[in-house]
Amino acid sequence: MDTKRQIRKKGSMRIDIISCVPQLLESPLNYSIVKRAKDKGIVSIFIHDLRDYASGKHKKTDDYSYGGNAGMVMMVEPVYKIIKKLTRQRKYDEIIYMSPDGELFDQPMANKMSLMRNIIILCGHYKGIDQRIRDHLITKEISIGNYVLSGGEIAAAAVTDTIVRLLPGALSDETSALSDSFQNSLLSPPIYTRPADFKGWKVPEILLCGDHDKIAQWLDAQAIDRTKRLRPELLDDK
């Protein structure tokens, strides 16, 4: 198994997420592993409502696009204000915009990001964001796949969850992040729990034999076989 992944040594990570629909981020980032990591002080996640940085009594964060293309566009000023406020307070490793145009997110990218100290993630909405934000404020654009979501929040939650589970201490058994699918370019082997026999559906005999070396060999072979069958392209660069 490839254990070359660099592991964060010390210090907690800070993730600032900017959104005009912050409610969309609430449950993915407030339960389970991410919640536990926050409670343990491994990561701090701050969600900023872009509306709080909008001017005027209507707190507008979007406007019609120049040139008349259909759809509203996120305005520069509120985004500028929040990003400047944050960057005045601390240095950020990346200021990320979630976008289907961005670099495809994958496990190596997540591993790299898990070593960072502070990142900002901007979630787009409506038709997109004013290009000047991308030109002058954003340092990296990330896509979670070749499809278009209604906004960047679900993508930001996916990226945040993937990074947080890699932070030391986030998972109760640290090796379990190393044995995740993709961590060594292989899918995970099949896993089972009790009962050993459910209505005649049996757990493979070898998993019950108690010989840990034999079981480890079997699991490795299963991972390779599964990857060959289901995602052969993952083996291409091996």
Binding site for ligand ADE (CB under 6 A): 98-100, 124, 143-145, 147-149, 152, 155
Nearer to ligand ADE, 163 or 171 (CB): 163
3-state helix, strand, coil in the chain (%, to 5): 35, 20, 45
Distance from chain centroid for Cα 59: 29
The residue of the chain with the least Cβ separation from ligand ADE equals: 155
Cα 183 from Cα 5, distance rounded (Å): 8
Nearer to ligand ADE, 83 or 155 (CB): 155
Give the shortest CB-204-to-ligand ADE separation in angstroms. Answer: 37
Nearer to ligand ADE, 138 or 219 (CB): 138
The helix or strand, by DSSP H or E, that contains position 157, with its residue range, turns out to be helix 153-164
Give the shortest CB-174-to-ligand ADE separation in angstroms. Answer: 29
The closest alpha carbon to 143, from 116, 115, 165, 124, belongs to 124
Give the shortest CB-94-to-ligand ADE separation in angstroms. Answer: 15
Nearer to ligand ADE, 127 or 231 (CB): 127
Nearer to ligand ADE, 159 or 177 (CB): 159
Residues 6+ apart with CB under 8 A from 215: 206, 207, 209
The DSSP code sequence of 134-148 is HHHT-SEEEESSSS-
Give the shortest CB-78-to-ligand ADE separation in angstroms. Answer: 18
The helix or strand, by DSSP H or E, that contains position 88, with its residue range, turns out to be helix 76-89
Give the shortest CB-127-to-ligand ADE separation in angstroms. Answer: 11
